Structure 1
Amino acid sequence: MITFIEAFKKELADEVKETKRMLEKVPVDKYDWQPHPKSMKLGVLACHLAEIPDMIEKALLSDKWDFAEEEAWKPTVFKTNDELLAFFDNSVAKASAALEQSRDDLLQDKWKLCAGDITYLEMEKWEAVRHAFGQNSHHRAQLGVFLRLLDISIPGPYGPSADEM
C-alpha cells in the first residue's frame, strides 16, 4: 500500500502533464481577451492555473496561507508562452519539493486559508492538497472553454478531445 504522500506525488505528476498541455495552447496575443465582463481575462486565468501548485507547498509547509501577510496578488504578465510554462514549472517544483519533505502523519494537522481575520477555508492539510487538485481541474476546464471560444484546439486530459479524434 502506498502512502498518501506517494499518491499525491503521482497525482501531481499526472495532472502536471495535462495542465502543461493546456497552458501550451494559450496565445499570448489574446491575454486581454475575456468571454464575458464578469469572467477573468485569459492571461489572468492562465497565470492562476500556473500557480495553483503553490497551494500544495503552502498547505504542507505551513499552518496557514494568510493573504494579509503578503503583497496584494497581481497576476504575472508573460511576454511569451515559454515564460508562462517556466512559471508553471517553478510552481510545480516547489510543490514537488514540499511533497518530498512531508509525511503522512502531518496530513491531519489543521490548515487555514485566510486574509487576516477573514477565513476562506479551514481544513486538514490533506484536504487542502485535494482542494488544490480540484482547483487545478476546475480552472483547467475553464481554460479549455476559453480556448474553445477562441477556436483553438484543446487537448483531452483523460482521453482524446473532439479536436484529437
Structure 2
Amino acid sequence: MPSNLRSKIHSFPANRSCVSVAAIGSSHSGKAVGIQGPGLYNAALMSTLTADQATLILTASGLPSLNAEHPVTKRVIAAIPAEKADYRPDNILRSAIDLAWHIVASETRFLEAVASGAFDFSGAARPESIRTPADVVDWYSGRFAKNVDRLRQMAGDQLIKIIDFRGLLQFPAVVYVQIGLSHSIHHRGQLSMYLRPMGAKVPSIYGESYDAREAREKAQAAPRGL
C-alpha cells in the first residue's frame, strides 16, 4: 500500500474504520487473483474477476475464515473484566470496551456493505445500551449470524459489484470480506495486549495460550471424584 494512502487511512478519527489490504484468493486455474501491483491494487487484474471466481473465494476462503475467527474474537472480548472495561494503556488509545466495539462494529459494517452493495457509516458510535464486554459479545453474535446468512445467499454477480470505501478504495464486494476480517484480527491482537496488564487471563487465540495451558494442567492435576 502506498505510504500516502496508508497515512490517510490511519488518520481517520478513532470512531472511524481503518483497513488493511490483503490477498483474497486464487482463480480456478491457480492464477493469483488479489490485491497486487505497485499501486493500491492491480486494476487490470481485478477487472478479470468473474462471478464464479468471486463465489469460490467466498465459499472456499471467506466464509470458513469468518466462522473460524468469530469465536476467537468473542473469547478475547469476553476476557475483558467488566469492572476494568475503561482500561487503556495510554491516554491516546481507545479504552478496552471502545476497542472491542470498534472491532465488532467495523467487521459488521464491512459484511453489511458486501451484502447490501454500499457502506453505511451511520451509527458508528457505541450505543448507550452497550456497556459491558458481555453486551458487545451478544451484539456481535446476533449481527454476525445474520450477516453470514446473507453472504451465503449472494449471487456471484453481486459479489463482483464494485463498492467504494470513503473514496479511497474501489473493490469488488467480495474483497471486503477479507479486508474486514483482517481489520478485526489486527485490532483483536491489539486488544489481547490489554488483557494481562489489566489482570485478566489471555484466552487461546492461535494455539493454546499460557493461561489456558495453566488452567488445563491445574484441572488435570485436581483429584477426581469417586
The match for 2:79 among 25, 40, 44 is 25
Distance 1:24 1:103 in 2: 35
| Match in the other structure for 1:92 | 144
Q: Which runs of 5+ in 1 are unaligned?
A: none
Distance 1:152 1:133 in 2: 25
Distance 2:178 2:184 in 1: 10
What's the TM-score, normalizing by structure 2? Answer: 0.62
Contact 2:110/2:119 (<8 A) preserved: no
Deviation for aligned residue 1:86 = 1.0
Contact 2:101/2:126 (<8 A) preserved: yes
- Greater fraction of residues in strand: 1
Deviation for aligned residue 1:110 = 0.8
Deviation for aligned residue 1:85 = 1.7
The match for 1:103 among 128, 133, 155 is 155
Amino acid at match of 1:144: S
What's the TM-score, normalizing by structure 1? Answer: 0.82
The match for 1:36 among 90, 108, 111 is 90
Q: Which runs of 5+ in 2 are unaligned?
A: 1-27, 29-54, 214-226
Distance 1:121 1:148 in 2: 36
* Residue 6, structure 1, aligned to residue 54, structure 2: no
Distance 2:146 2:168 in 1: 23
Q: What SS does the corresponding residue of 1:3 show, helix, strand or coil?
A: helix
Distance 1:50 1:32 in 2: 17
Distance 1:26 1:103 in 2: 38
Contact 2:82/2:132 (<8 A) preserved: yes
Contact 1:55/1:129 (<8 A) preserved: no
The match for 1:136 among 163, 166, 184 is 184
Deviation for aligned residue 1:66 = 4.3
* Residue 76, structure 1, aligned to residue 127, structure 2: yes
Contact 2:87/2:198 (<8 A) preserved: no
Amino acid at match of 2:170: E
Amino acid at match of 1:74: A
Distance 1:150 1:141 in 2: 15
- CA 163–14 in structure 1, closer or farther in 2 if over 3 Å, else same: same
Q: What SS does the corresponding residue of 2:212 show, helix, strand or coil?
A: coil
Distance 1:137 1:90 in 2: 19
Q: CA RMSD in A?
A: 2.2
Q: What SS does the corresponding residue of 2:87 show, helix, strand or coil?
A: coil
